Amino acid sequence: MMLTDDGQAPEAPANLAGTGIDIPILLDLVLKVAHIHSQISTNGVAEYLMLPRTVTSELLEQLRVDALLEVHGQDEVFGYRYSISKRGREMATRLLEHNGYIGPAPVPFEAYKAMLEWQIAQNPPVSSGQIKEVLADLVLSEDVINVAGLAISSGRSLFISGPPGNGKTSIGRKLHDALSGTLWIPHCIAVENNIIRIFDAHCHDVIEHANRKHQAIDRRWVKIKRPFIVAGGEMTLESLDLAYLPALKFYEAPLHMKANGGTFLIDDFGRQRVAPDALLNRWIIPLEHQIDFLTLHTGQKIQVPFLLRLIIATNLDTDKVTDPAFLRRLGYRTHINAPTEEMYINIFRQYAKRHELSVEEDLIEHILRRYRSTGREIRACEPRDLIERVRDVCLHTGQQFHLNKALLDLAWNGYFGSDEYIYTKSA
């Protein structure tokens, strides 16, 4: 790592050996870049591979010497224009049949692991004050707040159970906000001759480094916010292993590997398209040893770090989706009950205040009477949902956003259905 005006950053390799990658892998990558372009330049290839221009020049010169590239003249100072030769095109075609990856040069697998472990060790601990601050928008019992805080500050896993609609997913998202700091992750890593793509624009929020284009910074690495990744009912056992892309012939890292250094939330546990016990067995080694084993399409297994906050949320009966062996390996467990009427009132007022809405004295009692008369159990998400539907009504009718009994009745009927309760003046 090197110190810059914008914090620490990985230092660019000074030469080919400094990349940590076998030279043939880099030469093959440059040749494939030349194959898909009519002409390439020293600077253009350097940008494509995210390598220093001096390193790229060595690779291009070697390919020229091997008669795989042809020089077409100078391009800016110390740079040249090239095109692929007939021999080079034939070779590139064969290379693409075995590995279709074309993009930023990889970093060594060991460098990825070492960098991840070093960065996590540098992150400051999470305090109880930070936990209370990020959970301030939620109305929770002190017990839930304390257990959740212990899980995050210790780096252990957290299992959240309870009926639906009471904030389990929201707690997971809020707890992640307590994790400060940033991460440098590679675009991809090399495991022998295999390429595994780590950076995913759909999962990772990039933080632009002020000196990112400076030649001294290793641009094979991307600075991101600590990742927060959610997997729900769509998760399968296959999605927890390396995804081999047959058409491109390289690998995509699984979601929990992309979540390293951040938080991985498994939502709606027990509703996946795979038996819960199969998923539980899959997590036993990672939870106990902070490592995971992934399988290449050749059958070879690689050991990868499992350094993240794992949060599992379910609204199903815990006894039906877990077993004692799994629960023993979990760090912390908490149960989110349905809110009391007093908690419901606090949630309603808090959400209304956030939108600068005044609440009449008997307005919430009016809603609570509807819950009682229909025998409906209240849920923590429903004050928000009802107020948002009042907003819909106001927009639809051209009114200023406000709350009253008539608007809430319309919101209730649209949200729960109008047949369950007939509002009368006496109510």
Q: What is the pLDDT of residues 196-217, one digit of tens each?
A: 999 999 999 999 865 555 668 9
**Per-residue pLDDT tens for 349-384?**
999 999 999 998 899 999 999 999 999 999 999 999
Mean of the per-residue pLDDT values of the chain: 90
Q: How far apart are CA 47 and CA 222, in angstroms?
A: 14
Q: Tell me: pLDDT of 420 over 70.
A: no
**Per-residue pLDDT tens for 322-350?**
878 777 778 899 999 999 999 999 999 99
Task: Name the residue among 197, 210, 174, 215 with its Cα closest to residue 55.
Answer: 215
Do 211 and 9 form a contact (C-beta atoms < 8 A)? Answer: yes
Task: Name the residue among 362, 287, 367 with its Cα closest to residue 327.
Answer: 287
Q: Tell me: pLDDT of 134 over 90.
A: yes
Question: What residues are paired with 264 via a beta bridge?
Answer: 229, 310
Do 64 and 82 form a contact (C-beta atoms < 8 A)? Answer: yes
Q: Which two tokens stand for residue 21?
A: 């990658």
Q: Name the amino acid, one letter, at 162.
A: G
pLDDT of residue 11: 93
Q: Which residue has the tokens 């009132």?
A: 345
**Per-residue pLDDT tens for 225-234?**
999 999 988 8
Q: Which residue has the tokens 């959970």?
A: 135
Do 200 and 186 form a contact (C-beta atoms < 8 A)? Answer: no
Please compute the mean of the pLDDT values over residues 81-89 and round it to a whole number: 96
Which of 205-219, 277-291, 386-400 is least confident?
Answer: 205-219
Task: Name the residue among 346, 426, 419 with its Cα closest to residue 378.
Answer: 346
pLDDT of residue 210: 59
411-to-80, 373, 417 alpha-carbon distances in Å: 67, 17, 9
Starting at the edge strand found earlier in the chain, the sheet holding 158-161 runs: 228-231, 263-266, 309-314, 158-161, 332-335
pLDDT of residue 426: 36
Highest mean pLDDT among 280-284, 314-318, 386-390: 386-390
Q: Tell me: pLDDT of 424 over 50.
A: no
Q: Tell me: pLDDT of 247 over 60.
A: yes
Torsion over CA: 305, 254, 134, 136 (sign): negative
What's the farthest any 2 CA atoms get from each other in the chain?
A: 93
352-to-89, 399, 401 alpha-carbon distances in Å: 65, 17, 11
* Percent of the chain's residues with pLDDT above 70: 96
pLDDT of residue 357: 95
Q: Tell me: pLDDT of 112 over 50.
A: yes
Task: Name the residue among 35, 32, 10 with its Cα closest to residue 111.
Answer: 10
Contacts of 207 (CB under 8 A, 6+ apart): 182, 223, 224, 225
